Amino acid sequence: MLARQDGDIPWVDESRGVVSREIFFSEEIYQLELQRIFARTWLYIAHASEIPNPGDFVTRSMGDLPVIAIRADDGTVSVLLNSCRHRGVRVCRAHSGSVKNFVCPYHGWTYDQKGHLLTTAADKFLPPGTDFSQWGLVHAPRSDSYKELIFASLDPDAVDLVDYLGDFRWYLDIFFCRTPAGMQVMAPPQRYRVRTNWKTAAVNFGVDNQHVFTTHVGPFTVQPVTIPWPQRLKAMEEGVQIVAEDAHCVSLGFTQFEVPFALYPEEMRPLLAKVLSADQQKILSGLISGAGTLFPNLSFLERMIPSEKHGMGKTVILRLWQPISASEMEIISWCLIDREASPAYRERSLADGLRNFGVSGLFEQEDVELWATIADSSRSALAQRYPFSFMTAVPAMHAPATDFFGPGQAYRPVLTEVTQFRFLRYWNQMMTGDR
Ligand code: FES
Ligand SMILES: [Fe+2]
């Protein structure tokens, strides 16, 4: 129920570290999320490398609004509401492509790459002096990009993107812009639907380290281990979880190897050192696995590729958890690579990304199969009396690590639920009007 009564389980109980089940399946809460979260924050739209040339476009959603991101002849990117100004038909029906103009399939209203209306196909019957400039596709009120990550906001008064990302940019740089030429997507994204609430995935990537040793024990057992377990565990101990700007979370499992950037192909190593600060290099040089969530629904994951046959390598996965309803989301999943990567490294990285985190990937199947049981098993009145536990967050929240050199609030070890709970606390503050 949206009107909270005395005695109701709070959505997020900070003192006990528990969270109401209903936020993971209630349609009423989801409708409120569309207004209070998805209509107010910056939302990820696309990577610039998906639309490199004039006329290139992709279609995405901002909350429940379908949008088109398109690059125009002058190189600028517009984020346009994908709804014809005549009668609302979805103007663009494809996931991606390249066009000179958009022609609405219903009556033929035609828009250029910036959304300007060119013709209605019945212009001669319009009242004289009809001002076409008033009838273009609607632009998202704000759009901007950071290191080729394109975002938009439905709130004209949203803080600037650079401030929304804030200190988290320091970490985004490590994952998304660490060589002089930057990164690019390797292929169009995979898209698939899972019957679970979008926040289940957002907190899993931001960051549920506890599940790794049970959910994923299978692949860890069968895949060749190129990094011995003692070194992996050391990375977990030396690693940190960070919350930046109160909302965005990342977990970094890193240690120091004898060779700097040992987990990267040799040809990449000097490039990494060219772009990053000494402290950023220290993290990336020893990074075994990193994962994070940018509030609200963008996540990323980088892991080393455990291949004895092919040697070391890295794969970077970018994820958008696109809500469809309270209990269903579409996952949009990209594999990214540094532009300077050799063809062999590129191929290895893409194969690893898809094999493990593609729609039928080993790790992916294990996660989504479990996530898909949460909403259905939580709806009953009986189940709702018993909230979810994030209790390991409570002691951790009061004991941040003070010796970490990166920005944001750091916590050690990486095995508590502190960043997940901080994410939900921020969600709760936005939902209840405290932000
Ligand atoms: S609805 Fe698009 S032209 Fe009529
Ligand atoms: Fe997982």
Q: What letter represents residue 384's amino acid?
A: Q
Q: Measuring from atom 4 of ligand 1, which residue has the nearest CA?
A: 107
Mean pLDDT by 10 residues, the chain (435 residues): 69 96 97 98 98 98 98 97 98 98 98 98 97 98 98 98 98 97 97 97 96 86 71 83 97 89 88 96 92 98 70 85 98 97 91 90 92 94 96 96 96 95 98 93
Q: Ligand 2 centroid vs 131 CA: distance in angstroms?
A: 53
| pTM of the complete model | 0.96
84 close to ligand 1 (CB < 6 Angstrom): yes
Cα dihedral angle (17, 20, 25, 29), rounded to 10 degrees?
A: -100
193 close to ligand 1 (CB < 6 Angstrom): no
Neighbours of 200 (CB within 10 A): 21
211 close to ligand 1 (CB < 6 Angstrom): no
Distance CA 339, CA 351 (A): 17
86 close to ligand 1 (CB < 6 Angstrom): yes
Q: Which two tokens stand for residue 374?
A: 């949460």
Distance CA 80, CA 71 (A): 11
Q: Ligand 2 centroid vs 258 CA: distance in angstroms?
A: 29
Q: Ligand 2 centroid vs 365 CA: distance in angstroms?
A: 9
Distance CA 321, CA 202 (A): 7
Q: Which residues are in the CB-under-5-Å shell of ion ligand 2?
A: 367
Distance CA 400, CA 398 (A): 6
Query: What is the DSSP annotation of 73-108?
Result: TTS-EEEEESS-TTT---S--SSEEE-SSEE-TTT-
105 close to ligand 1 (CB < 6 Angstrom): no
89 close to ligand 1 (CB < 6 Angstrom): yes
Closest ligand by atom to 120 CA: 1
Q: What angle do CA 27, 329, 190 make, to 5 degrees?
A: 170
Decide: 355 and 1 in contact? Cβ < 8 Å. no
pLDDT at 1: 45
For strands 183-185 and 314-325, give the pairing: unpaired
137 close to ligand 1 (CB < 6 Angstrom): no
For strands 149-153 and 183-185, give the pairing: unpaired
Q: Ligand 2 centroid vs 210 CA: distance in angstroms?
A: 9
Give CA separation, 121 vs 28, 34, 101, 136, 284, in Å. Answer: 41, 35, 14, 14, 56
pLDDT at 186: 96
SS3 213: helix
